[in-house]
Structure 1
Amino acid sequence: MTQGGDWQQDLLRELANGSPDSAPPPSRPDASDAIPGAPVRTGAAADAEPGAESLPAAPLVPRPSHDPRVAAAPESVPTVDPRLAIALGRPQHGDSVARRTSRSLRKLTASAGGDVAEQTRLAQEVQQPVSTGRVIAVTSIRGGVGKSTVSALLGRTFNHYRHDPVLALEADTALGTLPVRMGAESVRWSCGDLARILTPAMQLTDVTGYLVPVADGGWLLPAGQGRVGAPLDVRTYRTVTLALRRYFAVTVVDCESLPGEVARTAMDTAHARVVVAPMTAEGVNGTRQVLDWLAQLPHSALATTVVALSAASPDTTLDAKTAAAHLREPGVPVVLLPYDPHLAQGGPIHTAMLGQATRTAAVRLAAEAMRHAVRMR
């Protein structure tokens, strides 16, 4: 893709694999139609055509069967076996009752000017307008350290603060958990399915018919339907992300763990990267090696990387300040994601149930990632 000129024409040309004359004029859907009730259109969707159709309440009917590109529509599959779903129990709150009460009293008796100023600054960072769709890739050195949890937190944070379309894309070739964390009850179309039917002529309303709408806003595209060995290769990943950047101002990609091939491609091609590090000595040490690898990439990927230092246990003995200082040595910002009982419980993430420290950390992480993503032109 060229660095100047008409970026949408470049994308359409790459999708069509043809000459500029063969690409139809780009479509710029109305961002406010993507999230009902959004009052402002900014960034990639700011210049949308008036009168765009509102998004469908349910997935569109698949293309006719005579279309050679499309096989029969896949069946919807529950993200959690109904026999197991009853075992999730009631969601736990991230803060205890005493802590929530104490925080409410402090708000009544103390000045909150400093906190408000900081929250306003972070919100402005998250809401930065973009001229092209920004891709933020999230990965880690191994599974089970909170990669999908961080991806879901970022997706929900961007959905809350931004007024243009946001997509959470699962790019984990294993049995990823992003659909569950995003609260999707079932999945149908996958990355592989969408890669076969995407065309430059599709409108935003066409594309969202194949995505899962998220309850709090935004959209989700799963990697598969929860089957072992679901195919997701580098070519499919590139096809989908390149095409969907036309429609979504921010795409949060939940990658497989490093050094997987799709993860390395995602980290190399994203506008910003979030590396999730578990708060253990071996986890921090391994993440530091990843940072050293990113520094060796041709376009200096380290300059657009953020580390999320995640505490998975309330009893961790690793000194957080020392761990963060070790990770900051290459010059990357580190955001501490504290232990949260609501996140540790598993299952769907309910923003209102998160601890206050977790919500603040999620906004700070989103602000850092967005600032780095906008920096990369």
Structure 2
Amino acid sequence: MPTLRLGTHSLPNRLFVAPMAGVTDRPFRQLCRRLGAGYAVSEMVTSRKDLWNSLKTSRRANHDGEAGPIAVQIAGTDAPMMAEAARYNIERGAQIIDINMGCPAKKVCTKWAGSALMQDEPLATEIMAAVVEAAAPFGVPVTLKMRTGWCETEKNAQRLALAAQDAGIAMVTVHGRTREQGYKGLAEYDTVASVKAALQIPVVANGDIDSPQKAKAVLDRTGADALMIGRAAQGRPWIFAEIDHFLRTGEALPPPRVQDASDWLIEHLHDHYSLYGALAGMRSARKHIGWAVRGLPGGEEFRQHMNLLESCEAQVIALRQWFAELADQHERLPVSTLPLGDDGGDTDDASSQKEHAPKASA
């Protein structure tokens, strides 16, 4: 796939990491970029000024040592506040601003942010125009992530996407589900295709892209300019390299070597611990470890054992030993016996962590 430009930034490929709250932090973004993703958007940052100095927001806004372009997703319901949030993040290193109009999480939508904005097109348009105007003096492009609509009978993605283009939005990502669906059912791509056909700016397809073959099928179906992958990258960040290779050559890459997967995960964990600290890092790392071993031989038993460990050092030692034993039996990672999680993007903190980690890590 040819490269894609956003403002002055030329992206190395057209495979993007979805912004997922509680997942797509700086260590995870860097891991995915290292293993083949061409672009990564941060977890959503609130537009509420009173929360900017909170520990949660400061971690989400941490881009120390991160390669550009640095893309920050902002969420909110007030146009002036969203404009101020854009300026605030740009002054702290953001090179691209993404507007969240796709998150289906109840705690976000009940405040009329995220995908709830799709129900109020005048407000959504006002927010897009305000953020574009705020970012323009800095030469920072603004992008938008949205769903197909609020529900099956209210699919207004094409209309909103055209309004976004008119407002100066540089790129639109469409997740092929309504807000009503959440992450259930199957993504549909006809709406994505209709948005692509109507717009002159780049359109990104998102939803259920969990294999190289599915990636090609979605590109063929939608004509999209790029693909965004979320939950399918959890525990399998090398999916970007697999898709890139398949799209370029038509051939499937073999699974990574067990030793390589072990090295990548342990390096990721050390980066994770350094961002969150020992206690919070140990607890929040559990979900990443659980995703990495899910479906592998003995993976569920190891996950249960690992969730009882109470230090970063114990996690790393146990993980290194488990992978070493797996490497004695398999040179390359066995094919998982479980289906990959579908690619939702904008994952809610609570739902993401509740499913894959014990209560302590939520």
Task: Establish whether TM, by shorter chain, passes 0.5.
Answer: no
Higher relative contact order (CA 8 A, sep 6+): 1
Structure having the higher helix fraction is 2
Q: Which has the greater radius of gyration?
A: 1
**TM-score w.r.t. structure 1 length?**
0.32
